Amino acid sequence: MTVMRQAQTPFRCVGLFGRPQTEGLAAPLRRIITCVRQMGIAVWVEQDTASSAGLKAGEIDGQSGLAELSKIIDLAIILGGDGTLLGVARQLAPTGTALIGVNQGRLGFMTDLDIAQVESELPAVLQGDYVEEERAMLQVSVMRKKSGSSARTAVFDAPALNDAVISRGAISRMVEVEVFVDGHYLQTLRADGLIISTPTGSTAYALSALGSILHPALAGITLVPVAPQALSSRPIVLPESVEVQVVVNDGAGTSLHCDMQSLTSLEDGDKIVVRHGAHKVRLLHPRGYDYFVMLRRKLHWSTNPLFAGRPDPLPPTEPHVST
């Protein structure tokens, strides 16, 4: 859901997060800190980020770990790429804290405010003039049978904002899994893996595996096979309300990861259960944010390969329709 907001009370306290040990981290952090403090808003910095950037006590209002920051901030500014934002968003989602990403990565589907735009775009956001989106999450569990028992117990549980990916390990063999939707058998899949994606993750790994792009406002989950043995195995989009169960039949060396950040090894007989998550991520964008402009720029749609690097084209005018 997208909500337009304006002319609201400024945020009281901003938390600033970066990717520790990143070269050149200090200068862009200080630009953001200066911009926020000029608005009269307190700035706290995640402690590893502050240490990596060499920030001194007088430059910021304080530093702490993420768990403590989540109790005092009402806006998180994440400097980095999508991976950095994913890591912070997964942990802040239960608190309802709003997030905005400042892109210092490569592609940046979610961190859409460039560092060059901080002074021109961020003050308006801090004054409450922004576009807000809620992004759905998944909750992913692995259920495993106890030795000598048919009962399964949870051995892994994690949220996912982008996707849950079942993939083969270093061994050169396919994974074989059975897929069920709300208890109904869907298919037995032999493939290099299976991606279970949110709309947010549809422009990530799922897109590389020829999955469909889902608009973030859609309430859906996509199942995308990775290099399936059967050419008839195709991606499918499901309602977000369903429960997807994947049973590992032959999975020596198989692993499961959520957003490439939480990882566990799988065993034959494991059941992966994927449900709609209980929390949503609140993403803020500058006024004028347009999802379709973002897609054109990131994916180079409408770009003539003979003129690579030209500016984003203006939207075409509506064609005249005679009556």
Structure confidence by residue, pLDDT tens digits, 98-154: 999 999 867 788 888 888 889 999 999 999 999 999 999 999 999 999 877 778 999
Q: Give 137-278's CATH code, choosing from 3.40.50.300, 2.60.200.30, 2.60.40.10, 3.60.21.10.
A: 2.60.200.30
Query: pLDDT tens digits, residue range 156-189?
Result: 999 999 999 999 876 668 899 999 999 999 999 9
Q: Tokens in use for 45? A: 């910095």
Query: pLDDT tens digits, residue range 261-300?
Result: 999 999 999 999 999 999 999 999 999 899 999 999 888 8
Q: How confident is the model at residue 39 (pLDDT cuts 50, 70, 90)?
A: very high
The CATH code belonging to domain 2-129+287-307 is: 3.40.50.10330
- Does residue 120 contact residue 129 with C-beta atoms inside 8 Å? no
DSSP 181-211: ETTEEEEEEEESEEEEE-TGGGGTHHHHTTP
Q: Where are the domains of the chain?
A: 2-129+287-307, 137-278
Helix (H, G, I), strand (E, B) or coil at 84: helix
Alpha helices, DSSP H, located in 65-216: 66-69, 82-92, 118-126, 205-208
Look at residue 226 in the predicted model and tell me its pLDDT: 97
β-bridge pairing 2-5 and 193-197: unpaired
Active site residues: 82
Look at residue 312 in the predicted model and tell me its pLDDT: 59
Count of Cβ atoms closer than 10 Å to residue 202 Cβ: 27
